Structure formats: structure tokens, C-alpha cells
Amino acid sequence: MEPLIRLENVSFSYKINEQTKVPVLRDIDFSIYPGEYVAIIGHNGSGKSTLSKHLNGILTPDNGDVWIHGYNTKNVNQKRAIRQTVGTVFQHPDNQIVATIVEEDVAFGLENINIPREEMRQRVDEALDVVKMSPFRHRPPHHLSGGQKQRVAIAGVLAMRPECIVFDEATSMLDSFGRKEVLQVMRKMNDKGMTIITVTHHMSEAAEADRIIVIEGGQIVMDGPAREIFKHKHELEQLQLEVPAVSQMAELIHNRFAEFSKDIIQESEFIEEVVKLSKEEVS
């Protein structure tokens, strides 16, 4: 299968002035395939946001290349095609809201690419429906909760019908309820075949993904299935990262009751294990 996004030896520095450069990304190589659900994790300042901005051409590498479906992000003529393939949802919902009415906000990107009225209405309806915000369509966004605003921002991206959405810490300003709402949308869109890339420092969110890429000092230090990555508890600790809370709890229980599996990364698995063992206890 052709990769959707391919990074080849990508390096990048921020230029502060003529003399000063801040090197951030170093020799990054990886591919993302259609339909994947990938989490990118790393501690603060490790380069996650800089990397995210390379995934749809907001930033372009100093060395190396980023290919989106074979388009090079350095090719200015293909910026529009690239932005329509990969959409991004950022951390602060307030910075992403541009209109004074929810449905106008969702339609904003479509107006810019001259989508005909009828199709625009259809796309906005559909996007609001996916994020369960249709009842709020005529409301001003600034009265909404953080989670609701973030879902409006997601609807704006969905309306563009991208093949992939990058979420850069998109749940970090939200309470646990808002976070759950946004996570459900990610899961639902991935189930429909959309490629999801989520940048997060919540390990419970990373555990929802199928694959985890770990970044440290602007370099990829681990890349593999989520379950494999979370087996490296000590290496993760050295990178100031930890395994999900349910994995820690499962290990503690396993140490007392060996029959309780410690190979657990998701809340649902933890609950299943408890149910399974309590049934065995009864019979």
C-alpha cells in the first residue's frame, strides 16, 4: 500500500535571527498508511507540535522531504491539495473559531474553496451530525463549553473531507467529559476509515491508538504497536513518560494475584479482566 504521509530524513530548525537557529527535528523517517490510528508521544518541548506542523505543510523541512500522497510539501502549488488531504485540530478551541454562528464557522473552510451552496449545506449538516453538534448550529460558539467548541472545530475540518486529521493536544484544554467526547469522535472517524494522528501526553489517549511513535529531542526513539510500546515501562520512564494508569494498576494486582493479566493498556480491557476473573471465582 502507498503511504498517505511519508517523512524522509526530515530536519528542521526555527530561525530566531540571522545568527541564531534552534534545531528541533533531526533525521525523522516514518510513513503513515491510510486508515492508521497513530499516537505521537513525547515530553514537553520534544518537538511534537513542530512535527505535526510538518504533516500538512504548515512548516517545511530544512533538510529531507515530506510527501503527502506523493505531493512534496515544499511545492507551493500543491499546498491546497495537501491541506485538503490532511486537516489539523489544535489545542486551543478558541483560536480556531472564526465565525459568530456555529454553522458559519463549520462552513468557513468550504467558502474558501468555492464549494457550491447545496453541497456546502450537505457537508456542514453531515459534519455537525458526526460531532453531535447539530442542535447548536444556530448558536454563537463563544457560549459553548470547551469540549463543544472543540467539536465545532473538528466539524470544520471534517467538512473539508480530509483523508487524515492530525489532533495536536486537542483534548488538553478540556475537562474529562470534553476529552471523552473528542476521543469518541476520533474513534468513530477511524472506524469509518479515516487516518487519525493524535499528539498527546495523556497515555490513556495514546493507548486508544494502534501504533505509537515516541519522540525525544526531535528524534524518533520508538515506533510500534501501542501494546508493544507500553511494555517498555523503564525506557518510557527515562523519557519522562509513563504507561497508562490502568497498566500500572493491572501490574500491581498481577503482583498479588498472578492470574490477573498485566498485559492491559485500555480501561475496557481492565474491566473485562475483572469480570472474567470474578466469573471464574463464582464457578
Ligand X SMILES: Nc1ncnc2c1ncn2[C@@H]1O[C@H](COP(=O)(O)OP(=O)(O)O)[C@@H](O)[C@H]1O
Provide the binding-site residues for ligand X, judged by CB under 6 A: 14, 22, 24, 42, 44-50
Q: In what order do the strands lie in the sheet with 211-216?
A: 86-89, 164-168, 195-199, 37-41, 211-216, 219-225
Residue number with CB closer to ligand X (22 or 113): 22
Contacting residues toward Mg ion, per CB under 5 A = 48-49
Residue number with CB closer to Mg ion (48 or 179): 48
Instruction: Select from ligand X, Mg ion, none the partner in contact with residue 209, using the beta carbon and a kind-dependent cut-off of 5 to 8 Å.
Output: none
Instruction: Select from Mg ion, ligand X, none the partner in contact with residue 50, using the beta carbon and a kind-dependent cut-off of 5 to 8 Å.
Output: ligand X
- Residue 203 Cα to chain centre, angstroms: 13
- Closest approach, Cβ 120 to Mg ion, in A, equals 32
Grid cell 492470574 — which residue?
Answer: 259
- Closest approach, Cβ 11 to ligand X, in A, equals 13
- Closest approach, Cβ 52 to Mg ion, in A, equals 7
The residue whose Cβ lies closest to Mg ion is 49
- Closest approach, Cβ 169 to ligand X, in A, equals 7
Instruction: Select from ligand X, Mg ion, none the partner in contact with residue 47, using the beta carbon and a kind-dependent cut-off of 5 to 8 Å.
Output: ligand X
Residue number with CB closer to Mg ion (48 or 151): 48
Instruction: Select from ligand X, Mg ion, none the partner in contact with residue 42, using the beta carbon and a kind-dependent cut-off of 5 to 8 Å.
Output: ligand X
Residue number with CB closer to ligand X (14 or 177): 14
Residue number with CB closer to ligand X (7 or 102): 7
224 neighbors 242 (Cβ within 8 angstroms): no
269 neighbors 254 (Cβ within 8 angstroms): no
- Closest approach, Cβ 167 to ligand X, in A, equals 13
Question: Cα–Cα distances in Å, from 178 out to 96, 135, 175, 216?
Answer: 16, 17, 5, 28
Residue number with CB closer to Mg ion (49 or 248): 49
